Structure 1
Amino acid sequence: MWRDIDWTNPVTRWKLLFASLVGCIVVFGGGYGVLSITNSPSFCSSCHEMAPEYTTYTASAHNQISCVQCHIKPGVTNMLTHKVKSMKEVYYHVTGVPKQIVQTEEEAVSNENCLQCHSKNRLVTASGDLKVNHKGHIEKDIPCITCHAGVVHAKIAARGLNIDSARGEWTEKNAQKLIEEKYVRPNMGTCIDCHDKVNKGEKPWKDVAYTVPPNPEELEKLAEGKNKAASTKPVKEDENTAELAANHDQKTQEIILQAIGKQKTNVKVSMECGTCHKKLKVPRSHKVALWNQQHGSTAVQELNKCVTCHQDSKWVREIPKEDIISLLKLGVKKSHYQPDIKVVKDQSRINKFCSTCHNKRPPGHTKSDQWLTAHSTKALTAEAKSQCFVCHDQKKPKPGSTDTKAPTDVYCEYCHRTGFKSPVKK
């Protein structure tokens, strides 16, 4: 058939050229159309397993840009390579959706994506409170998502809110209850953890796993391996648990002392609050004489204000797992604080800010041998005893007790085994 065609005829050559042109338009136009469709957020939302990611995206400040502007590095080659790799997602969709969608280390959002829109020369954050040298961080190859991991999806993977059993709950209405501001903004615990590691000569961001949420499937395999290894060994209680907890508390308290300027260290990055917080001010109440000895009464009345800054949970980098049903039922409610000495006492025991000072022997206790014979006069009234009970328990806590653990293992009935006399009234 092809041999019978007269290729010397100009009309024939023009027909071939026209047919080739039409073919190219169909092929390339169709390919461009496929790329355009698969690059749109609506295409991402067509799969039900992407409901949590799409819902958080539409509720975020980045909802005017497409998903691929963040998740695919700039460039045609990167685009085509990503499309080929994404065929496995189609396979998963057909054969069995993963229990949880997580970003892999290979596909972590790069600084190149962020710098398409954002300037690296910013020194002050949008809130105006923080001084952050973005250029210095970027030149050290620190990924933007190390700090800004939750800016679009509110860290739903780390919180465990995008698992298969929860995907039906991700509606536009529910998103407002599930996307908490503290998960959208940078986590101060990440700043503290990273700066502390830098001061020890480490560069934690060099490991992509430091930034990307752990893959639950890999964690399950790791757990299975540990369980198999443990089953071959005799079962015994971990003797190092208490020691590790004590070391963690000590490390936290050392960092807190640096932050409030009570402990000066020769470091690469200052850990003091004023290093990054531009508008940080010491409250007027803190500047009065003998504040260290008198702040307890203020804490009882204004504990909710105290924990705005003095809340060690903000210093933790790890994101706790949450239950989506509980979040939807309770929502984010602001509780009204009622002055309560028991609440303050419990807070002084578990809060690392408080225990930084409260776990040390007060100056008034003098030497042990003198204090043992003289302390009874300091605890004559119920009010005086209540001050002692901030640190000490009257009885030794029972094993498995749910009561807040005292910061000391010295309890009254260790010596007073026959009880106490009635408190003297004023």
Structure 2
Amino acid sequence: MSTLGFRKKKKTETEETEIRDKKPGLVRRLWRKFRAIDWKNPVNRWRALFVVLFASIAMFGVAYGAIAYTSEPQFCSFCHEMSPEFITFEESAHSQIKCVQCHVDPGVVNTVIHKVESLKEVYYHVVGPPDPIVQTVPVMNKNCTQCHSENRLVTATGDLIVNHEGHIKEDIPCITCHSGVAHAKVVERGINHQKDLDFWKKENAEKLVKAEYMKPNMGTCIDCHDKVNKGERPWKDIQYSLPENTHGEKHEEKADGHAEAATLDTTEAAAPATTEVALSEEEQKALDDKHSQEIILQAIGKQKKDVKLSMECSTCHKEVSTPANHQSADWNLNHGGNAVEELDKCLNCHQDQKWIKKLPKQDIVSLIEAGATKDEYKPNLHVVKTDSRESNFCSSCHAYRPPGHLQSDEWLTAHADKAKTDNQKAECYVCHERAKPDEASKVKAPTDVYCEFCHRTGFKKS
């Protein structure tokens, strides 16, 4: 009898018989057979060795096949969110190699580790919708040098003077300059969001993947050289060479939280040690524009400095072809008429995205609807005025008072002869508004002086 006063119930003879006669499970039966083997018999030992060897070969074969299969670019294309990366890859000069040759460190061990770590991507894909792909791990130089020589003396264009040896000695990552070589900078351009994925098809590749986004961006070179002149070494922070993650603001909306965690992993490392006051979008743009204008002025020789790396075109280009009409003495005063007639030619050189590192965001629908070729430009003063105000290249000079405007008191009485005809007035409107500027307007005139401040009753008809 137990201490609590309860008598333990004995099993009946029938129950004990049922338990004894019950057939053991598969694992238990196998274990009994294994224990019953006579290991002293050499035949049994050889049989066991053969089974282990065969199982090992089978497991190795399956693992090797799985690694080989998942290393093929076509495997990456199975996931919808990989559409931008796969289409751009197929259109690139790297389309004949495998993704892992760039994105995984060389070596069998590194490949296996990468495959194991990539299992989490499968999980995110299943529980999705997954985040758009944003590169957070850099492509290392040792991956590039598996195919490319470090002593390369020429460039694809044949025009650039590139000191590859000097860059390598400074341990500058290849992707700092060649970030778009395989994927056409889809992240920087903002065209790999969830809403964009259905547009990434083979038939749209010609419109979405262009050589200008795969070649090194001159703005990256200029930005880096400018920082070097200021005593900085920006490439030491790997985030400088990686695309900005533009999807972070949406991560906190995810229910499973995996995207938010990924964002923290990639952004905390890049966060500055000191707390800085966040600028508004307009303030940041104004700061970026001012910086771009300063660099452009250096490049065109208006602000020459004793610097380590000059911004002049001849620093990096073997041949600098200046159009003949640019060499006339009065070009700075009279180039407006040429801009109206040949704006498309002007923009071959004078467009902001060639001079700044940060690419403007694009709309994928507009890119597809616009087609692979540009519409033919027709002279339009309104278009020139708007472009000249939006362009940092133009506004960097237009912000200064033209030499022909004399002193303020003299110009006040002398400018009437310069604005008699409609065409003359139109030239004035490139820098001046006729009426009081609208404060809400996104396109600002380079000066706040407007005509009707004085001419409140209007103008005489020409």
TM-score range, shorter chain: 0.7 to 0.9
1:315 and 2:355 correspond: yes
Structure 2 residue 95 is the aligned partner of structure 1 residue 92: no
Q: 1:412 aligns with which of 451, 458, 461?
A: 451
Q: Work out which of the residue numbers 185, 208, 214 in structure 2 matches 1:155.
A: 185
Alignment of 1:11-410 (within 5 A): 11-104=43-136, 107-220=137-250, 246-401=286-441, 404-410=443-449
2:68, 2:225 → 1: CA distance? 42
Q: Give the % identical residues.
A: 57
Aligned partners of 2:353 and 2:359 also within 8 Å: no
Mark the CA change 1:17 to 1:245 in structure 2 (over 3 Å): closer, same or farther.
closer
Instruction: Provide the C-alpha distance between the structure 1 equivalents of 2:395 and 2:114, rounded to a whole number of angstroms.
Output: 51
Consecutive unaligned residues in structure 1, runs of 5 or more = 226-237
Q: 1:386 to 1:157 in 2, by over 3 A?
A: closer
Rounded Cα–Cα distance in structure 2 between residues aligned with 1:56 and 1:326 = 18
Does the 8 A contact of 2:190 with 2:246 survive in 1? no
Larger gyration radius, structure 1 or structure 2: 2
Alpha-carbon distance in structure 1 between the residues aligned to 2:386 and 2:143: 46
The alpha-carbon deviation at position 302 of structure 1 amounts to 1.9
Distance in structure 2 (CA, Å) of the matches to 1:422 and 1:85: 75
The farther-off stretch of 64-73 and 177-186 is 177-186
- How far residue 147 of structure 1 moved from its aligned partner, in angstroms, is 1.7
Secondary structure class of the residue paired with 1:309:
coil
Distance verdict in 2 for CA 1:4–1:111, change over 3 Å = same
Tell me by how many angstroms 1:70 deviates. 0.9
Which residue is 1:228 aligned to?
none
Q: Distance in 2 between matches of 1:170 and 1:305?
A: 31
Please say if residues 206 and 372 of structure 2, whose CA atoms lie closer than 8 Å, have aligned partners that are also in contact: no
User: C-alpha distance in 1, partners of 2:425/2:125?
Assistant: 65
Contact 1:62 1:152 in 2 (8 A): yes
TM-score w.r.t. length of structure 1? 0.86
Preserved CA contact (<8 Å) 2:177 2:216: yes
> What is the RMSD of the two structures over their aligned residues, measured on CA atoms?
2.8
SS at match of 1:271: coil
> Partner letter of residue 68 of structure 2?
S
**Structure 2 CA distance for aligned equivalents of residues 4 and 312 of structure 1:** 81
**Cα distance in structure 1, aligned partners of 2:368 and 2:416:** 52
Q: Secondary structure at the match of 2:361?
A: coil
Name the CA distance, whole Å, in 2 between partners of 1:203 and 1:350: 30
How far is the alpha carbon of 1:317 from its aligned partner?
1.8
1: distance between equivalents of 2:159 and 2:320? 8
Residues of 1 paired with 2:365 and 2:452: CA distance?
44
Residue of structure 2 equivalent to 1:234: none
Give the counterpart letter for 1:154 in structure 2.
Answer: A
Where in structure 2 are there 5+ consecutive unaligned residues? Answer: 1-32, 255-259, 261-277
Question: Conserved in 1, the CA contact under 8 Å of 2:292 and 2:356?
Answer: no
Per the TM alignment, residue 209 of structure 1 is displaced from its structure 2 partner at its CA by: 2.0
Specify whether residues 65 and 340 from structure 1 end up closer, same or farther in structure 2 by C-alpha distance, changes over 3 A only: same
Q: 1:365 deviation in Å?
A: 2.4
